[in-house]
């Protein structure tokens, strides 16, 4: 069994990005990333702080808007409109989930397609599905980069995704299909989950349930990618029962230090791409 080191791969990607940031500086361009967080969910705060500190480390212009839980939908939409028009901002990210009184779909729709570095805008999702150039959602794209760095040939392989969220499961299926994998998407209503996962060459766990994937669900030699970030008694655990699965898998991502750092690296990547595009450099 080999542990897939997401920290190492993300560090390499960020090194490459640092070079790109220097090149942009020669053209007078500084990549700008604006992150919006509403309320004070501790997990969201941790993610947003990490996005901000990574952006700063790479020399981006980084703005964080910490909004009160009581902010109105109109106030949030006004802020986004201003950022859409701000030439210093190349990427806008609104951390999800949003409070119930705000229509998340409306908010995501209002972000300029050209600044949608999260890849959540319906137009970017549509482009991704037909294989057109688009911002790709950071977590599934981060998983694809990990598989690429590991030199895993996906052609004809059976990839089983557990979870069908708009942020991970559905785009993950699209990206794996694009690389010629045979894809099965499982979810809470799936019958015979055990039988299906036992046919998988690659399992992507994105259910949000701690230690959900156990050794009996995994075929000998399978590659196991754990997208889960769950807090249990103050400790971060994935959706995969790492201790039991590691002896069956040929390769496995740890939590923390697997997919998580890749999500951030891909967000930085999308922001640099956006800045390059705006500057007419690609």
In the block, tokens 């947003």 appear at 48
The structure tokens listed for 13 are 């990607």
Please spell the DSSP secondary structure of 115-142, one letter per residue: G-TT--SHHHHHHHHTT-S-PPPHHHHH
Candidates 115, 116, 118, 239; catalytic one: 118
Using the minimum distance from each CB to ligand GUN, give the nearer residue, 201 or 258. Answer: 258
Quick one: tokens of 158?
A: 């059976």
Determine the Cα–Cα distance for residues 143 and 157; give it in Å rounded to an integer. Answer: 16
Cβ proximity of 57 and 15 under 8 Å:
no
118, 201, 239, 273: which one binds ligand GUN (CB under 6 A): 118
Q: Please give the residues from 135 up to 174 whose contact with ligand GUN meets the rule CB under 6 A.
A: 138-139, 167
Question: In whole angstroms, how close is the CB of 64 to ligand GUN at the nearest point?
Answer: 13
Tokens of 36: 């919006």
Q: Under a CB-based contact definition with an 8 Å cutoff, are residues 215 and 247 in contact?
A: yes
Of residues 84-103, which lie at the interface with ligand GUN (CB under 6 A)? 93-96
Task: Establish if 20 lies at the interface with ligand GUN (CB under 6 A).
Answer: no
Nearer to ligand GUN, 95 or 211 (CB): 95
Tell me the three state secondary structure of residue 71: coil
Per rule CB under 6 A, is residue 266 in the interface with ligand GUN? Answer: no
Residue 95 is among the residues annotated as catalytic for this protein:
yes
- 236 to 265: interface string for ligand GUN, x by CB under 6 A: ---------------------------x--
- Catalytic residue from among 14, 95, 239, 246: 95
Helix (H) or strand (E) holding 35: strand 32-38
User: Is 57 labeled as catalytic in the residue annotation?
Assistant: no
Which residue is nearest to ligand GUN, using beta carbons? 96
Tokens 């015979």 sit on residue: 192
Give yes or no: 68 in active site: no
Taking the complex as a whole, the smallest distance from the CB of residue 264 to ligand GUN amounts, in Å, to 9
114 binds ligand GUN (CB under 6 A): no
Nearest distance in Å: CB 96, ligand GUN: 4
Cα separation, 237 vs 257, whole angstroms: 11
Instruction: Scan for tokens 């992507």, then name that residue.
Output: 204
Enzyme catalytic residues: 51, 95, 118
Interface positions with ligand GUN (CB under 6 A): 93-96, 118, 138-139, 167, 263
């Amino acid at each position: 069994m080999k542990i897939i080191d997401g920290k190492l791969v993300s560090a390499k990607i960020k090194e490459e990005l640092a070079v790109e940031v220097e090149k942009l500086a020669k053209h007078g361009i500084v990549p700008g990333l604006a992150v919006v967080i509403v309320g004070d969910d501790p997990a969201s705060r941790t993610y947003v702080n990490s996005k901000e500190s990574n952006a700063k480390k790479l020399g981006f212009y980084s703005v964080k808007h910490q909004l009160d839980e009581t902010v109105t939908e109109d106030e949030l939409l006004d802020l986004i409109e201003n950022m859409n028009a701000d030439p210093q901002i190349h990427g806008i990210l609104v951390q999800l989930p949003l409070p119930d009184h705000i229509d998340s779909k409306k908010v995501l729709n209002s972000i300029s397609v050209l600044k949608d570095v999260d890849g959540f805008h319906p137009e970017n999702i549509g482009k991704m599905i037909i294989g057109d150039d688009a911002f790709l959602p950071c977590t599934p794209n981060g998983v694809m980069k990990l598989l690429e760095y590991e030199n895993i040939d996906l052609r004809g392989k059976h990839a089983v995704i557990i979870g069908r969220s708009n942020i991970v499961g559905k785009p993950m299926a699209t990206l794996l299909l694009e690389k010629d994998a045979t894809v099965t998407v499982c979810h809470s209503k799936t019958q015979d989950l055990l039988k299906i996962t036992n046919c998988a060459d690659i399992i992507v766990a994105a259910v949000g349930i701690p230690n959900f994937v156990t050794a009996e669900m995994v075929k000998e030699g399978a590659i196991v990618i754990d997208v889960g970030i769950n807090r249990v008694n103050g400790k971060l655990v994935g959706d995969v029962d790492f201790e039991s699965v590691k002896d069956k898998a040929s390769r496995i991502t740890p939590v923390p230090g697997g997919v998580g750092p890749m999500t951030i690296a891909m967000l930085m990547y999308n922001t640099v791409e956006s800045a390059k595009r705006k500057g007419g450099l690609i």
